Amino acid sequence: MKSTKVIESTAIKTREEKALDEAFMLRAYELAQQAEKINEIPVGAVVVANGKIIGEGFNQSITLNDPSAHAEMLAIKQAGQALQNYRMLDCTLYVTLEPCPMCAGLLIHSRIKRLVFGASDLKTGAAGSAFDLVEHEKHNHKIEVEQGVLAEQCSSLLSAFFKRRRLEIKEKKKALKAQQNTNTR
């Protein structure tokens, strides 16, 4: 049922619409790269109204000591200030990774019109992968969802990050062990 819906929406999308979606996703990707630079999980998001970016964000939970500082959260907060409104009625949120349950809730509260995401998050994604909170039938507000825009690019940024982090942890453990060995000698 869901897959046919996705196919329909891609089929009616014009070439210009597709190019626009990719351009905004590319900006979200650049923001994700900024998160990576400060060792945060590389996720970036932008909010677009009338073809213009009005809010940007990237993951900063560790930096800000704030578990809610996800890319979507920061982008929507900024958009709210730009609009001077707590509703984002005609806006689209572009995010490099499928939103988590917290951000899915935020999208409903913000009354955002459309969600476009890059990579799917099979573990915690709340737009259909692990939970289906964005398009849940119990919500009065319906959000149009589109997935897979620049998906490969967005997901390789994430997997490279996790790979690097695993290596760093391994190296640290190794160094610690070596130190312990010299201490006991």
- Please give the Cα distance from 52 to 127 (Å, whole number): 24
Q: Which stretch of DSSP H or E encloses residue 112? A: none
Residue with smaller CB distance to Zn ion, 103 or 157 = 103
- Please give the Cα distance from 148 to 54 (Å, whole number): 23
Residue with smaller CB distance to Zn ion, 54 or 76 = 76
Q: Which stretch of DSSP H or E encloses residue 184? A: helix 151-184
- Residues of the shown chain interacting with Zn ion in the complex, contacts defined by CB under 5 A: 70, 100, 102-103
Active site residue 72: yes
Q: Is 21 helix (H, G, I), strand (E, B) or coil?
A: helix
Shortest distance in whole angstroms from residue 157 CB to Zn ion: 17
Q: Which residue is nearest to Zn ion (CB)?
A: 103
Q: Is 158 helix (H, G, I), strand (E, B) or coil?
A: helix
Strand partners, 58: 44
Residue with smaller CB distance to Zn ion, 20 or 102 = 102
Shortest distance in whole angstroms from residue 72 CB to Zn ion: 6
Catalytic-labelled residue, pool 36, 40, 56, 72 = 72
Residues identified as active-site:
72
